[in-house]
């Protein structure tokens, strides 16, 4: 007998109207559909707030009419599963939190606590709610043995290999540790990496991620651990499921213990003894949350005393001792004036919304990417519409929805052009892609993007070669390929606009110096799909020269721990393309370093061996150059402060990293002391 049929039979006894039964069934169906998009595909169609509204509506219906509850109802289970991983059981069920957007419901939550624990003093902690992927890591005698996703709360996906690729997750704990510890936290993608990842996916004609949470989920569930490493995921820990061999009694003491064991934790944990203090703490967090490197969509309130938590217990889905307060998304309404089309370095045509300027989250927005024509159709965007704007991941301006009731009939449906808007070559759609592409490799727009990428800071780092300069050089015919950069002369540049004698001299010097950049920078600059800085360094250290790398088989590439099959095939195919071969020949003739100028290996037994460095603030050299000095002396460079950090090298205007280092007791030195240390060593 189906759930719906059973409900129909019961309804005769309870007299539930048929329309309510049908509405409950639709809510279950819609929530299950959105669960699949959110958890399995990381491509949600609605916001968290809209999902929570549907969920709350179903909860209210089931409370009013308990016979509407079915065993498969989303209200009766925690859901998160994916394909391609083995499942395993949590030592203790991993529940989710009840959400609220209302301060009154926070007050109601606190009242319930006092009702359940009468005559007891109850303190609360208030922590940032990271919009990431919940994970549980199992340590035995201080050694990581398993990493899992939440799953359905009882079982989750075993993603241990991917967890091991996340640099700030400790593999071995420090100090006196519990004999058994199942620690819980959140894997996230920083706002900076989210922006970079979406830009890369746009270039490759792949669907972009809606927010950092989806990007983190999509990354953690990659079957190729090398891709996980390349995306620079990070984690923060705040709780536990099972623990043996400790006597910790409060949440704040547990956070301190986590730090002492080597775990990254929340940058701040507030404390409240009254309802008024709790609301004030939520407001304080709301005022500073945009300063974090990760996206924060709320505040988590938890009972401080662990013994009280045990007495409060849990429902079938969530603990009674915690609740998540969600902040309202920062949005604005404006007019969609036009939709233009940009051409990327790989030829992908991307529609862009041209907006009537409006301030969102503290900055003026006049443009927003629309990614592809399918997204425009799904949102039913029309030129002239009044639209709602917000910043995806608090970083990228995005069109959220259309205010359809404001339409007056003058709005125009957008048609994606069937040709490149720059070179007018016919556009095609590759199998398995949603984007249209210009297939003309000589398209000026593609050339411009390729040169800009080649010269950017993380690639060949050619100072002075910005967008305006590149566009002008292409327009006057001085650049017809990337390799033409190395044949420019001062006499050709001086007659151009905004090209004074000094700026020309500096540009020519920067281009010449780029010939001698380390080999790994050239590998980044070539724009091979999936190959970022980390993979490029690994490839350069393993093969030393382009000649040896080009001769490597897919099997040889896969044999490298950090390089998976997807990346290996991408490298192999890219280096065999005729256009790539021609570019490499031209670059070699121009004298660009193909690895022969690099030292064979870094001096890993150098004076800084065993030390981990973080660099912050303004220094006399770029951070990349400072990092090279550290690596060449055997040290390691990390992007984030943790208890494992040996030194923080702090220049002028050092910010949150300096504060974090001081809290953790990490040694802080300035550049002068760093130079002395290197010299003494």
For residue range 362-373, list pLDDT tens digits in order: 678 899 888 888
* 381 vs 659: which has the higher pLDDT: 381
User: What pLDDT was estimated at residue 662?
Assistant: 82
CATH number of the domain where residue 122 is located? 3.30.470.30
- Contact between 392 and 211 under an 8 Å Cβ cutoff? The reply is yes
Q: Is the pLDDT of residue 174 over 80?
A: yes
411 within a domain of the structure (yes/no): yes
CATH number of the domain where residue 622 is located? 3.40.50.10190
User: What pLDDT was estimated at residue 8?
Assistant: 46
| Residues 130 and 225 occupy one common structural domain | yes
SS3 label, residue 353: strand
Place 212 in a pLDDT band, splitting at 50, 70 and 90. confident
344 within a domain of the structure (yes/no): yes
| Residues 117 and 229 occupy one common structural domain | yes
User: What pLDDT was estimated at residue 297?
Assistant: 84
594 within a domain of the structure (yes/no): no
Of 282, 300, 326, which residue constitutes the final position of a domain?
326
DSSP, residue by residue, 626-675: HHHHHHHTT-EEESS--TT--EEEE-BT--HHHHHHHHHT-EEE-HHHHH
User: What pLDDT was estimated at residue 673?
Assistant: 82
- Contact between 420 and 343 under an 8 Å Cβ cutoff? The reply is yes
d(CA 52, CA 415): 34
Place 6 in a pLDDT band, splitting at 50, 70 and 90. very low
For tokens 């301006």, the residue is: 397
Long-range contacts of 253-261 (CB under 8 A, 24+ apart): 254/306, 258/183, 259/643, 259/664, 260/174, 260/175, 260/643, 261/142, 261/170, 261/173, 261/174, 261/175, 261/177, 261/643
Show Cβ contacts of residue 492 under 8 Å, excluding neighbours closer than 6 positions: 478
pTM (2 d.p.): 0.59
* 561 vs 103: which has the higher pLDDT: 103
| Residues 120 and 178 occupy one common structural domain | yes
| Residues 177 and 254 occupy one common structural domain | yes
CA angle in degrees (0–180, nearest 5) for 135-137-143: 160
d(CA 237, CA 269): 12
Of 326, 354, 382, which residue constitutes the final position of a domain?
326
Closest Cα partner for 69 from 58, 78, 80, 79?
Answer: 58
User: What pLDDT was estimated at residue 81?
Assistant: 44
pLDDT in tens, 56-81: 788 788 878 777 777 667 776 554 44
d(CA 627, CA 30): 50
Mean pLDDT of 26-42: 70
CATH number of the domain where residue 21 is located? 1.10.287.610
Of 42, 76, 110, which residue constitutes the final position of a domain?
76
User: What pLDDT was estimated at residue 397?
Assistant: 82
Place 478 in a pLDDT band, splitting at 50, 70 and 90. very high
- Contact between 303 and 322 under an 8 Å Cβ cutoff? The reply is yes
Q: Is the alpha carbon torsion for 195, 127, 186, 33 positive or negative?
A: negative
CATH number of the domain where residue 571 is located? 1.10.150.20
| Residues 521 and 649 occupy one common structural domain | no
Q: Is the pLDDT of residue 453 over 60?
A: yes
What is the number of H-type helices and E-type strands within the chain?
Answer: 25, 24
DSSP structural state of residue 499 = -
Q: What percent of the chain has pLDDT over 70?
A: 89
What is the number of structural domains in the chain? Answer: 5
User: What pLDDT was estimated at residue 83?
Assistant: 52
- Contact between 323 and 98 under an 8 Å Cβ cutoff? The reply is yes
Count the Cβ atoms, other than its own, within 10 Å of residue 328: 8
| Residues 159 and 283 occupy one common structural domain | yes
| Residues 348 and 479 occupy one common structural domain | no
390 within a domain of the structure (yes/no): yes
Mean pLDDT of 337-345: 92
Helices 103-116 and 275-288: crossing angle, nearest 10°? 140
Please state whether beta strands 667-669 and 647-650 pair in parallel, antiparallel, or not at all (unpaired). parallel
497 within a domain of the structure (yes/no): yes
Q: Is the pLDDT of residue 520 over 90?
A: yes
Q: Is the pLDDT of residue 13 over 70?
A: no
pLDDT in tens, 313-332: 998 788 999 999 998 877 88
Mean pLDDT of 642-668: 81
CATH number of the domain where residue 357 is located? 2.40.50.140
User: What pLDDT was estimated at residue 598?
Assistant: 78
d(CA 564, CA 225): 7
Side-chain half-sphere CA neighbours of 535 within 13 A: 30
Q: Is the pLDDT of residue 31 over 60?
A: yes
d(CA 547, CA 598): 14
Single out the catalytic residue among 129, 191, 229, 391. Answer: 129
Show Cβ contacts of residue 475 under 8 Å, excluding neighbours closer than 6 positions: 444
607 within a domain of the structure (yes/no): no
Place 9 in a pLDDT band, splitting at 50, 70 and 90. very low
Mean pLDDT of 655-671: 82
d(CA 640, CA 188): 13
Place 55 in a pLDDT band, splitting at 50, 70 and 90. confident
Tokens of residue 18, six digits: 């048929």
295 within a domain of the structure (yes/no): yes
Active site residue 111: no
| Residues 531 and 672 occupy one common structural domain | no
185 within a domain of the structure (yes/no): yes
| Residues 344 and 303 occupy one common structural domain | no
| Residues 316 and 459 occupy one common structural domain | no
pLDDT in tens, 87-100: 889 999 998 898 89
| Residues 240 and 169 occupy one common structural domain | yes
Q: Which domain holds residue 670?
A: 612-680
d(CA 195, CA 422): 25
User: What pLDDT was estimated at residue 40?
Assistant: 55
Mean pLDDT of 327-355: 90
Mean pLDDT of 598-609: 63
- Contact between 97 and 158 under an 8 Å Cβ cutoff? The reply is no
* 656 vs 582: which has the higher pLDDT: 582
d(CA 537, CA 93): 41
Q: Is the pLDDT of residue 203 over 50?
A: yes
Q: Is the pLDDT of residue 255 over 70?
A: yes
- The segment with the largest mean pLDDT, out of 18-27, 248-257, 655-664, is 248-257
Least confident of 4-18, 106-120, 199-213, 553-567: 4-18
DSSP, residue by residue, 207-272: PPPSSHHHHHHHHHT-S-HHHHHHTT-EEEEEEEEEEES----BHHHHHHHHHHHT--B-S--EEE
* 558 vs 562: which has the higher pLDDT: 558
Count the Cβ atoms, other than its own, within 10 Å of residue 444: 17
DSSP structural state of residue 305 = B
* 426 vs 396: which has the higher pLDDT: 426
| Residues 451 and 580 occupy one common structural domain | yes
What is the C-alpha end-to-end distance of the chain, expressed in Å? 77
User: What pLDDT was estimated at residue 10?
Assistant: 44
Neighbour-count burial of 571, counting CB atoms closer than 10 A to its CB (0-12 exposed, 13-18 middle, 19+ buried): buried
Tokens of residue 273, six digits: 């003894």
pLDDT in tens, 398-421: 888 899 999 999 999 999 999 999
- Contact between 539 and 558 under an 8 Å Cβ cutoff? The reply is no
């Amino acid at each position: 007998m189906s759930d719906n049929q059973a409900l129909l039979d019961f309804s005769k006894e309870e007299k539930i109207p048929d329309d309510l039964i049908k509405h409950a069934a639709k809510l279950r169906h819609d929530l299950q559909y959105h669960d699949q998009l959110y958890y399995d595909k990381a491509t949600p169609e609605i916001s968290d707030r809209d999902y929570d509204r549907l969920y709350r509506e179903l909860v209210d219906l089931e409370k009013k009419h308990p016979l509407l509850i079915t065993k498969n109802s989303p209200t009766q289970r925690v859901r998160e599963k994916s394909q391609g991983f083995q499942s395993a059981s949590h030592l203790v069920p991993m529940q989710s939190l009840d959400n609220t957007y209302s301060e009154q419901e926070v007050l109601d939550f606190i009242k319930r606590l006092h009702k359940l624990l009468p005559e007891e003093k109850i303190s609360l902690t208030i922590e940032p709610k990271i919009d990431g992927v919940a994970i549980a890591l199992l340590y035995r005698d201080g050694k990581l043995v398993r990493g899992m996703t939440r799953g359905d709360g009882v079982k989750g996906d075993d993603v241990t290999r991917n967890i091991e690729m996340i640099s700030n997750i400790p593999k071995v704990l420090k100090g006196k540790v519990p004999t058994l510890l199942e620690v819980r936290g959140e894997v996230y993608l920083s706002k900076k990496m989210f922006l970079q990842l979406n830009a890369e996916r746009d270039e490759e004609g792949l669907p972009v991620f809606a927010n950092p949470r989806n990007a983190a989920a999509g990354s953690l569930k990659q079957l190729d651990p090398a891709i996980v490493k390349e995306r620079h995921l990070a984690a923060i820990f705040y709780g536990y499921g099972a623990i043996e061999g400790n006597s910790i009694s409060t949440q704040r003491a547990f956070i301190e213990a986590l730090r002492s064991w080597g775990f990254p934790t929340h940058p701040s944990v507030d404390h409240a003894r009254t309802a008024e203090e709790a609301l004030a703490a939520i407001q304080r967090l709301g005022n500073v949350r945009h300063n974090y490197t990760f996206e924060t969509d709320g505040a988590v309130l938890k009972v401080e005393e662990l013994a009280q938590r045990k007495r409060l217990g849990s429902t079938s889905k969530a603990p009674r001792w915690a609740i998540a307060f969600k902040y309202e998304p920062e949005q604005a309404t404006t007019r969609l004036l036009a939709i233009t089309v940009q051409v990327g370095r790989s030829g992908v045509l991307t529609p862009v919304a041209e907006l009537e300027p409006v301030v969102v989250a503290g900055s003026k927005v006049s443009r927003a990417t629309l990614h592809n024509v399918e997204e425009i159709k799904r949102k039913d965007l029309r030129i002239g519409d009044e639209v709602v704007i917000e910043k995806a991941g608090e970083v990228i301006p995005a069109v959220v929805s259309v205010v359809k009731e404001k339409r007056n009939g003058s709005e125009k449906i957008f048609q994606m052009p069937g040709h490149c808007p720059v070179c007018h070559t016919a556009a095609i759609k590759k199998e398995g892609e949603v984007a249209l592409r210009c297939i003309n490799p000589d398209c000026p727009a593609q050339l411009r993007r390729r040169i800009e990428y080649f010269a950017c800071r993380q690639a060949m780092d050619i100072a002075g070669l910005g967008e305006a300069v590149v566009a002008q050089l292409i327009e006057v015919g001085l650049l017809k390929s990337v390799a033409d950069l190395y044949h420019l002369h001062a006499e050709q540049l001086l007659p151009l606009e905004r090209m004074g004698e000094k700026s020309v001299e500096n540009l020519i010097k920067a281009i010449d110096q780029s010939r001698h950049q380390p080999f790994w920078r050239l590998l980044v600059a070539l724009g091979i799909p999936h190959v970022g800085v980390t993979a490029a360094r690994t490839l350069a250290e393993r093969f030393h020269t382009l000649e040896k790398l080009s001769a490597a088989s897919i099997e040889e590439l896969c044999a490298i721990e950090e390089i998976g099959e997807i990346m290996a095939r991408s490298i192999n195919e890219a280096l065999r393309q005729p256009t790539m071969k021609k570019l490499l020949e031209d670059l070699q003739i121009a004298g660009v370093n193909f690895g022969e100028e690099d030292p064979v290996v870094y001096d890993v037994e150098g004076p800084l061996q065993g030390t981990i460095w973080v660099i912050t603030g303004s220094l006399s050299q770029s951070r990349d150059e400072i990092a090279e000095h550290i690596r060449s002396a055997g040290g390691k460079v990390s992007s984030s402060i943790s208890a494992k950090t040996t030194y923080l090298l702090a220049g002028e205007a050092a910010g949150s990293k300096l504060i974090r280092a001081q809290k953790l007791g990490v040694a802080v030195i300035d550049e002068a002391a760093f130079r002395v240390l290197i010299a003494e060593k």
